[in-house]
A and B are shown apart, each in its own frame.
Chain A
Amino acid sequence: MNCREIKNLLSDYVDNMLSHKERDIVEKHLFTCKDCRDEYESLKLCIDEIKSLERVKAPLNISEKIHERLESRTKIKLLIDKLFLPFYIKIPLEVAALFLIALLIKNIYKHPIPEIQIATKAEKIENIKKYPKEAFTEPENEISDEKTGYENKPVEVALKPIEKEAVLEEKMSKDISFEKSKEDIIEEIKTETPEERKKRENREFLEMVKKNYKKFESTAKDLKIKADDLEAKAKEAEEKAKDLETKAQKAENEALRINAEVLSKEADRLKAEIKETEKKIAEINEKQKKEKGEKLTLLTKYEELEKEIQLTENKLYEIAGKINIYMDK
């Protein structure tokens, strides 16, 4: 191996990550090559230098800071959750709303034709009634009659051919149930007196009004039923929303309660631990006190014994003295 290859292995060599064979080669090379030895020395120093960097400790309040940031995040998330309902509620609600609006629009445009028809028919009749007035200026009571709604008063006006035509046309368009052929109608109109004609017209008009009234009544009923239906649906939706709200509230309360429970349990456990340790400390203290007392009593006993020993010793000396005296004697 040349120096370059050896230098590539030095990092692993420092960490003792080489195989036996490789390590032998590197060590032999380092023994002979000063250049590589210097390289190794400086690398080792550099690594030691990095390792000597002190370990910094996290600030003590870092846990609280993390909690604060997490809480602010969850608050924002809750707000968003409140503002925007989840899709599984939102989309059905939207679909229902769309459907209701569609129904409403459909109902509004369902029966516009009768009104218009009635209007045009009424106009036509009025025009025909007015026509003779314009042709022969009638006395005032005639006009008042018209206003009071075509009462059965004789009108002494002869119809002009154009008028007849108009009446005929009106009849044809006005009433489908009128099952007489055109010729018959013409015949009738020709033969009938103005009085009869007036009566017939009035009768027809009344029939028409009745019919239209019935139509109106039925459509009104329809509309009313539909409106009731819509109202009921709206109420249902509202109730559902309320239900969901209460459920959410309940779930939230439950979560809070559970949290509180866990915390209180933890607190209780800690309290119990504290009490236990306090008890233990008290016991130890008592034991120490007892031991002290025992020590004291032992010490006093020891002193007493020492005194006794002293006394007996003194006595012994006395006796020994006496013996000596006797011996001397």
Chain B
Amino acid sequence: MNRDSNPGNQIDNDESLIERIMSGDKLAFDILVPRYKDKIFNLCYRFSGDYTEADDLTQETFIKVYLSVKHFRFESSFSTWIYRIAINVCKNRINSLPYRFKRLTNSLSGSKDTEREGLMNDVADNSPAPDCEFEEKERKKIIQKAINKLPKDQMKMIILRDIEGLSYEEIAGITRCNLGTVKSKLARARFSLKEKLKGLIR
């Protein structure tokens, strides 16, 4: 083989790894996966609110990356591209019938009220109690639920900005919006999330 014999020694930036994957080097993909798996997993987890679902979504994202790497045009950075794929995978899953059915049955077995009321009741019941009595876990569960109740567009903004901590420019690249749209969408998302968490935050 005339390929460089010691792939570990060269500086592996994402773009050179992509080029290697394109030329059929499977080892490069193995370097790329550990680099992004936690980021993507966290994103999928916040999107779905479910650990096993996030596992599956992450796998699907990386498989998509591997299969469609030949379509990568180097116009954006790889991280923008993989985030875009992950969000698409998550959105498609959330829209799929089996997933919606699962969520519906979960919410029905969880509380007999409708989803929205159930959440508000959760918050309302807990709000009079002093802060110290809050189980930290419960608190986080409620926040996660509130995020997942948001419309998908708003949820995407909250996750990318406040959870993944990406810059406005990066978000604009991932969502293919201009900066102004990102700003207004994020403001709206934060506002509606704040309204949902009113009882929790005081």
Contact = CB atoms under 8 A, between A and B. Distances in A.
A34 interface: no
Given A50-B143, A58-B37, A58-B38, A266 B7 contact: yes
A55 B42 contact: yes
Given A17-B168, A58-B58, A65-B59, A46 B190 contact: yes
Interface in B153-182: 158, 161-163, 165, 168
Given A49-B197, A50-B193, A11 B187 contact: yes
A74 B72 CA distance: 21
Contact of B194 (A42, A62, A266, A269): A42
A321 B81 CA distance: 94
B83 interface: no
A104 interface: no
Interface in A107-163: none
A51 interface: yes
Contact of B55 (A17, A45, A55, A62): A62
Contact of B163 (A42, A43, A51, A70): A51
Interface of A: 8, 10-12, 15, 17, 42-43, 45-47, 49-59, 62-63, 65-66, 69-70, 73, 258-259, 261-262, 265-266, 269
B183 A62 contact: no
B137 to A, nearest CB: 10
Contacts of B33: 62-63, 66
Interface string B185-202: 011001101100110111
Interface of B: 1, 3, 5-8, 26-27, 30, 33-34, 37-38, 40-42, 45-46, 51, 54-55, 58-59, 62-63, 66-67, 140, 143-144, 147, 158, 161-163, 165, 168, 183-184, 186-187, 190-191, 193-194, 197-198, 200-202
A77 to B, nearest CB: 10
A3 to B, nearest CB: 14
25 contacts: A42-B198, A43-B191, A46-B193, A46-B194, A49-B197, A49-B200, A51-B163, A53-B46, A54-B140, A56-B41, A56-B42, A58-B37, A59-B41, A62-B33, A62-B41, A62-B55, A62-B59, A69-B59, A70-B66, A73-B63, A262-B3, A265-B6, A266-B7, A266-B8, A269-B6
A274 to B, nearest CB: 13
B143 A53 contact: yes
A45 B6 contact: no
B183 A17 contact: yes
Nearest to A65: B59
Nearest to B55: A59
Given A66-B63, A70-B63, A49 B187 contact: no
A307 to B, nearest CB: 58
A51 B159 CA distance: 10
A49 B143 contact: yes
Nearest to B183: A12
B1 to A, nearest CB: 6
B83 to A, nearest CB: 15
Contacts of B143: 49-50, 53
Contact of B37 (A62, A261, A262): A62
Given A62-B58, A69-B63, A266-B27, A15 B201 contact: no
Contacts of A65: 55, 59
A261 B38 contact: no
B1 A261 contact: yes
Contact of B158 (A17, A42, A50, A63): A50
- Please indicate which of the listed interface residues A52, A55, A73, A266 has the most CB atoms of chain B within 10 Å of its own CB: A55
Contacts of B158: 50
- Please indicate which of the listed interface residues A15, A46, A54 has the most CB atoms of chain B within 10 Å of its own CB: A46
